[in-house]
Amino acid sequence: LQGRTAIFDFRLDTYGGQDLFLDDITVFQGCRLNLRVKLDGALRQRDRADERCIARGLADPASEPYSTSGYVFTGEGGGEVIGSGVLSVTGTNAIVDWVAIEVRDATDPAKVITSRAALLQRDGDVVDLDGVSLVRIGVPAGNYHIAIRHRGHLGAMSASPVALSQSMPLFDLSLASTAAWGTNARKIDGATALLWAGDALGNGDIKYTGAGNDRDAVLLAIGGVIPTNTVSGYRREDCNMDGVVKYTGAANDRDLILLNIGGVLPTAVRSQQLP
Ligand SMILES: [Ca+2]
Ligand SMILES: [Ca+2]
Ligand SMILES: [Ca+2]
């Protein structure tokens, strides 16, 4: 159990669907995050009849991939390991991938108070390591900004502080009607809002040309020379999250980068809207 703790005698608690019977048990005293978010790159999150989504396995790494790719957790996060059997779940609650959640200061939203990795279900629910429960985080109940990041996407944050508690109402960043911090922070698709895909370098912008662009990252991932090469696996350069990095041809990852900077002007840049 994570977060702020207190000692009780003869206390029964439930975690991950299992009852815990102990004379002395450490009872969780933090908040349970009730969050939703959807990814532009994850086709399975866009209600498309796409066989790649069905056929593809789920998030490969059993451990959170952020620590090893340059993201620095604040506070309790880092080193999260997925629960056993979680990856075999199918349907709307199937796990799509890892996300990183940041609890930020209500008045200074640039300040991350604590962050941790969590799992994202196909229907947008952000869940704990058992693939089912609300995400536990060790902050006292109160108002905080909530930011959610995904490798390969631009992260987004609540426009206003959100009241966190052990029983907070759903904060749904996947709804276009839920305000996000900044301007065009998410990709609006009807009533749905998606995190922008195409940050193949994971450096907070989507860039098609010029220094540090994401298109070259895709090309480099497939070897850097032959544009028709592909490479399979769990990679940030796989912008459309179909398990294959592809630079040209049908369902390539380069086109999504161009599309998401506006689709016309290759020098346009889309920046992550996080303070
Ligand atoms: Ca769900
Ligand atoms: Ca980038
Ligand atoms: Ca791909």
Percent helix / strand / coil, the chain, rounded to 5: 10, 35, 55
Ion ligand 3: residue ranges with CB closer than 5 A: 238, 240, 242, 244, 253
Contact 58, 44 (CB under 8 A): no
Alpha helix (H) residue ranges in 27-146: 51-55
**pLDDT tens digits for the chain (275 residues)?**
445 555 544 445 555 555 555 544 567 789 999 999 999 988 666 655 443 443 354 445 788 999 999 999 999 999 999 898 888 888 888 888 899 999 999 999 999 999 999 999 988 999 999 999 999 999 999 999 999 999 999 999 999 999 999 999 999 999 999 999 999 999 999 999 999 999 999 999 999 999 999 999 999 999 999 999 999 888 899 999 888 899 999 999 999 999 999 999 999 999 999 99
For residue 242 the two structure tokens come to 């179909």
Distance 72 CA to ligand 1 centre (A): 28
Q: Bridge-partner residues for 162, per DSSP?
A: 144
Distance 163 CA to ligand 3 centre (A): 37
For residue 172 the two structure tokens come to 């749904």
User: Pairing mode, if any, of strands 171-172 and 35-36?
Assistant: parallel
Which ligand sits nearest to residue 42's alpha carbon?
3
Residue 22: what pLDDT? Answer: 53
Distance 221 CA to ligand 2 centre (A): 14
Residue 157: what pLDDT? Answer: 98
Q: pTM above 0.85? A: yes
Distance CA 214, CA 203 (A): 9
Burial of 20 per CB tally in 10 Å (0-12, 13-18, 19+): middle
Residue 1: what pLDDT? Answer: 46
